Amino acid sequence: MIARLAFRSLTNRPLRTLLLALGFGLGIAVMAILLGVGEVILAEARSPALQGGGDLVVTGAAGPLENARFVLTRVVRGGEMDREVVAASPWKRATVYLVSPKRVWAVTARAGIPSLERALGDQEIAGQRSWVDAPADPAWAMPATGDVLRAMDRFHTIPKLPEFADSWAEWLYFNGHTADGRTRFYLTFMFGPSNPSGGRSAAVRLQLDENGATTNYSTARDVDEATLLERAPDVEVAGNTVHLEGSTYRIALRLPREGGSGVMVANLTLDGAAGQSLPPLVMRGARGWLSGYTVPVLSGPIRGTLGDRTVEMSGYHDHNWGFWRGVRWQWGQVAGGDLSFVYGRVFPPASVADPSRVPGFLGVLGPEGVVGTASDVSITEGGDNGDRGRGPRTVTVAAKGSGVNLRLAFVADETIRTALRAAGPADQASADFLQLNGVYHVSGEAGGRHLDFTSRGAAETFR
């Protein structure tokens, strides 16, 4: 029927039909050309050569990379890509305003490191002999492991947000355990919000577990805020210190026992290594709320003296900062062979973010750096039947992501409960913070390797 109508239209009005067909054809051709040009323009806009040379552009999924030095030294240079990388350079693009008495011009500017940009083949600066590296640029070009650790472990200025300011806290956390798990310690250097005198409240707490018995040691004193921000992670609280020398953390303690007599004297070292770090991650919520986390040392040897004994342990160090009223989390860490695993999930207050929409995270690191990561992570606790004193007996973690398909099954053999009290809404004013010790069974795939092993590890949660 349609063919008959088309034939009669062509025979009755041939000129009009021909012009109509030519018009349709021309429109389709123009559309095809425009789509092709658009593809070319988009491809050129993304071209590394047009970004300033090179073959590959690395960007963040949600904007600029906030940890470019870590990516440059631990992912590009320290990872599996190292042998294929000839040159790499960080750069940042921003708007610069040129102001005259009569007019203001907005200029898009790009900053980089001259020697590294030339190594990439950036033709824009090839002939600019006056553009040379600044004194601070070598710290980007060839940073030492210790410099990267210090940058990750820096302390943060408290945002000026009266709504949240009194719940700010930032701390350095260390833990260690012997191979048989019979001796473990948990050490925190905690720094609270600012006070009117320009100081910060500070406390040091050591929890020592030996053969099933737990002993706590602690002290507290205000510290100068400006000194803390300038020198951290080198910190001192009432004679107790952490000092970063190169890639080694040196810890000296002299802490009185809680609720009894005696003093714990300890001198420990924790060695960090390239490839055993997770870069800073910051979660942001409404009205400026934030929570940050980084792991400078995911796994490293601890040596030294703890009381009257010489110890050798497996150690871990992380660093947290942010606003903590009404915040809960699940967290765990284990190492097996040459791989280290850390997972977690933060539950922010409902007033700043929807806790159900905050994903979990799991990272796997090996001797050469990141082996794989996952944000499709479920963390299931079981076995406590709602008993807030005991806490969960088991934790099961399932993770799928880039180079990762893992199951971590944790069975707790010890639970330490700390009652927390904080100002805030009734449903957020109290909680039990639970530290769990036990054994993980890790199975699955990571970085193309089949895994099936058991190892002692730790976990944290709330009730």
Give tens-digit pLDDT for 337-390. Answer: 888 899 999 999 999 999 888 888 998 888 767 788 898 999 999 887 555 456
Of the ranges 64-68, 122-126, 204-208, 442-446, which one carries the lowest mean pLDDT score?
A: 64-68
Instruction: Say whether pLDDT at 391 is over 50.
Output: yes
pLDDT at 53: 62
Instruction: Say whether pLDDT at 424 is over 50.
Output: no
Instruction: Say whether pLDDT at 410 is over 50.
Output: yes
pLDDT at 389: 52
Instruction: Say whether pLDDT at 121 is over 80.
Output: no
Q: Are 221 and 202 in contact (CB under 8 A)?
A: yes
Name the more confident of 95 and 13: 95
pLDDT tier at 114 (50, 70, 90 boundaries)? Answer: confident
Percent of the chain with pLDDT over 90: 39
Instruction: Say whether pLDDT at 17 is over 70.
Output: no
Average pLDDT over residues 246-253: 96
Instruction: Say whether pLDDT at 49 is over 60.
Output: no
Name the more confident of 416 and 396: 396
The residue behind tokens 């949660």 is 461
pTM > 0.95? no
